[in-house]
Chains A and B, each alone.
Chain A
Amino acid sequence: MSARKDVLKQQDIIGSLQPAIHVPQNWNYEVEPDLYKAYMHPPHDVGGQFDVPVRYEEKEEEQWELDTYVTCEVLGWRGLWNSEERRRRADNDLGYTLYLGIPYYGRWILAAARMLVDKGHISLVELIEKIAEVKARHGKK
């Protein structure tokens, strides 16, 4: 469990992740059509958009990434989901902040967990308690 000061530090970080579009927004009652179209745009389609320069990093897959890949494939082989649900739609459904904020295979494993909960194979309580148990075992916050 996190100490209260850690929770408050988290609140500051979460606040800093507000979408960096420079118009005020807070559950707008009126949304202009162009803005609506922008909101509806799926996060995975980034071609042609302006972006800040990013560092190109070439590295080998880490073990957790390979494990994630295999886990997701096996879930596919067992018929729990198909490739379009997995790699495309479920990744998009994580939303912009997560889609862009975490590693490629981070999206996959979160999408897999979400699918298993959505389709009733595991309960969210079960999953949260397991994560807490494993974190405690490894002495992580």
Chain B
Amino acid sequence: MARSRSPKNPQRPAGKARFKVGDRVRVKDLPNLFYSRTQMYVRGVVGTIAACTYQDVIPEDEAFNRDGQLEQYYIVRFRQKDLWPEYPFDNDTVQTESPERWLEPA
């Protein structure tokens, strides 16, 4: 992800990735306060880790111009049917990106 950013602070890497490709995870429904990048339509839904992508700044930090601490990001794959109960096709999926803090084992 190319970004125009000049970090103020040295970047602190996240620890070892908690999830691996194929793991089942549920998106947390943390409180919304001032800002969130985690879409409502995936919250509480179980999906599969499709890729363990990279470490980057915590969205809630970056939104307020804090940087330094990095966290692990993942691509999570959901069945469309799990997101939209009335969705007609079993095999269709949608993928979205999520930082580790918003995911829990399912």
Q: Is the CB of B5 within 8 A of A41?
A: no
**Listed stretches B10-18, B31-39, B68-76; interface member:** B31-39
Residues 79-108 of A, flagged 1 when their CB comes within 8 A of B and 0 if not, give 101111100110011000000000000000
Task: Please report the C-alpha to C-alpha distance between residue A81 and residue B62 in the assembled complex, in whole angstroms.
Answer: 10
Q: Is the CB of B64 within 8 A of A85?
A: yes
Residues 36-53 of A, flagged 1 when their CB comes within 8 A of B and 0 if not, give 010011100101100000
Which among B3, B35, B57, B59 is the interface contact of A92 at CB below 8 angstroms? Answer: B35
Considering the complex, give the chain B residue whose CB is closest to the CB of A82: B5
Q: At the interface, yes or no: B89 with Cβ under 8 Å from chain A?
A: no
Considering the complex, give the chain B residue whose CB is closest to the CB of A87: B63
Q: Which residues of B contact A81 (CB under 8 A)?
A: 65
Considering the complex, give the chain A residue whose CB is closest to the CB of B5: A82
Candidate in B3, B6, B65, B67 with the most chain A CB atoms within 10 angstroms = B65
Q: Which residues of B contact A45 (CB under 8 A)?
A: 36, 39-40
Q: Which residues of B contact A40 (CB under 8 A)?
A: 31-33
Q: Is the CB of A41 within 8 A of B62?
A: no
> What's the nearest-Cβ distance from chain A to residue B40, in Å?
6
User: Chain B interface mostly helix, strand, loop or mixed?
Assistant: loop
Q: Is the CB of A76 within 8 A of B40?
A: no
Q: Is the CB of B32 within 8 A of A42?
A: yes
Q: At the interface, yes or no: A65 with Cβ under 8 Å from chain B?
A: no
Q: Which residue numbers of A lie inside 8 Å of B, CB to CB?
A: 37, 40-42, 45, 47-48, 73, 76-77, 79, 81-85, 88-89, 92-93
In the complex, besides A84-B63, A88-B59, 18 extra interface pairs with C-beta distance below 8 angstroms are A37-B32, A40-B31, A40-B32, A41-B32, A42-B32, A45-B40, A47-B39, A47-B40, A48-B39, A48-B84, A81-B65, A82-B3, A82-B5, A82-B67, A83-B5, A84-B37, A88-B37, A89-B34
The 4 closest A-B pairs by CB, nearest first: A48-B41, A84-B62, A89-B63, A40-B32
